[in-house]
């Protein structure tokens, strides 16, 4: 069971998290949803297409991205979260800033998706104080520099140690197990070969006992394998998502909800049979 505020998910099927980036510079959809109307339309379309959670982000974490000011991030995400959550939709806020987490929770967000895994001062306490879920993601370094000089002896071992430590810190702060999701953080301080090893050995992350989320959608590893530009990586992304689901992932974060939901319907039908 996964508890996102008042939304309860038994996890008997894979959940789809639709990405809504309200940023000028996100690697795939930057600049497309900057007006409230365009963003709301996109959220509505993703829900019609079968998204379970809408993940609203106001700061790009793509490699080399510059940090966003707190005021700017708040202005981008809070009015939107208010309007989407008011419709009874589970909304997650993609932020590493505790002030943004607090405002988003007050605006109705039911989940905090933190690429920094609640390592910022006061982040653990902020999430513990509300009934929201959290996604703890592994990232090596900072977005501005994370793809420089990347090396691991064993990437899976490093990611496991990190996620176990962050999940323990979350539980110690009072966040119940049924509110914790973990994510290996594909592309965050990882080269293509690291992402592939992580995906191949995903069952080792799943064995940690928390629902695992994966974000592979349109990422550069898919581009490296297919030779496709960002907007043409849907098929490759779905292949990677299904590989992750076959290895036990429970949440798929995607820009292409309709295609991903269709693929998962077929996958689930085959499992049930």
Task: Show Cβ contacts of residue 27 under 8 Å, excluding neighbours closer than 6 positions.
Answer: 60, 62, 218, 230
CB 27, min distance to ligand HH2, A: 4
**Closer CB to ligand HH2, residue 62 or residue 233?**
62
Q: How far is CA 1 from the centre of its chain?
A: 18
Q: How far is CA 150 from the centre of its chain?
A: 22
CB 95, min distance to ligand HH2, A: 10
**Closer CB to ligand HH2, residue 194 or residue 253?**
253
8-state DSSP, 212: B
**Closer CB to ligand HH2, residue 196 or residue 269?**
196
Phi and psi of 144, rounded to 5°? -60, -30
Query: How many other CB atoms sit within 10 Å of the CB of residue 90?
Result: 23
**Closer CB to ligand HH2, residue 128 or residue 146?**
146
Could you say which of 96, 219, 233, 250 is catalytic? 219
Residue 253 bears catalytic tag: yes
Is-contact 112 93, C-beta < 8 A?
yes
Residue 250 bears catalytic tag: no
Q: Which residues bind to ligand HH2, rule: CB under 6 A?
A: 19, 21, 23, 26-28, 57, 60-62, 94, 113, 115, 135, 137, 183, 185-186, 213, 215, 253
CB 270, min distance to ligand HH2, A: 26
Is-contact 162 207, C-beta < 8 A?
no
CB 10, min distance to ligand HH2, A: 21
265's tokens: 């319907």
CA 219 to CA 233: how far, in whole Å?
8
Instruction: Write down the H helix ranges in the chain.
Output: 36-48, 70-85, 98-106, 123-128, 155-172, 192-200, 202-206, 220-226, 234-246, 257-272
119's tokens: 């390592």
Q: How far is CA 91 from the centre of its chain?
A: 12
**Closer CB to ligand HH2, residue 193 or residue 271?**
193
CB 269, min distance to ligand HH2, A: 27
Active site residues: 219, 253
């Amino acid at each position: 069971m996964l508890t996102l505020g008042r939304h309860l998910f038994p996890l008997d099927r894979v959940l789809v998290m639709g990405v809504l980036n309200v940023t000028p510079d996100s690697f795939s959809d930057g600049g497309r949803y900057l007006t409230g109307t365009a963003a709301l339309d996109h959220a509505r379309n993703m829900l019609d297409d079968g998204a379970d959670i809408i993940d609203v982000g106001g700061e790009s974490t793509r490699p080399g991205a510059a940090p966003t000011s707190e005021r700017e991030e708040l202005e981008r995400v809070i009015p939107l979260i208010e309007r989407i959550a008011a419709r009874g939709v589970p909304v997650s806020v993609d932020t590493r800033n505790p002030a943004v987490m607090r405002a988003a929770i007050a605006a109705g967000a039911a989940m905090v998706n933190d690429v920094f895994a609640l390592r910022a001062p006061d982040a653990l306490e902020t999430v513990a104080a509300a009934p929201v879920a959290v996604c703890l993601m592994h990232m090596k370094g900072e977005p501005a520099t994370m793809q420089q000089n990347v090396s691991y002896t064993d990437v899976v071992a490093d990611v496991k140690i990190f996620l176990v430590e962050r999940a323990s810190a979350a539980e110690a702060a009072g966040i119940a197990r049924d509110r914790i999701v973990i994510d290996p953080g594909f592309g965050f301080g990882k080269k293509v070969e690291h992402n592939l090893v992580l995906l191949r050995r995903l069952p080792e992350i799943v064995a940690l006992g928390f629902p695992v989320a994966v974000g592979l959608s349109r990422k550069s590893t898919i581009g490296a394998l297919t030779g496709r530009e960002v907007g043409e990586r849907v098929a490759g992304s779905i292949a990677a998502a299904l590989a992750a689901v076959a290895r036990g992932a429970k949440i798929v974060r995607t820009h292409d909800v309709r295609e991903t939901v269709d693929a998962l319907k077929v996958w689930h039908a085959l499992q049930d049979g």
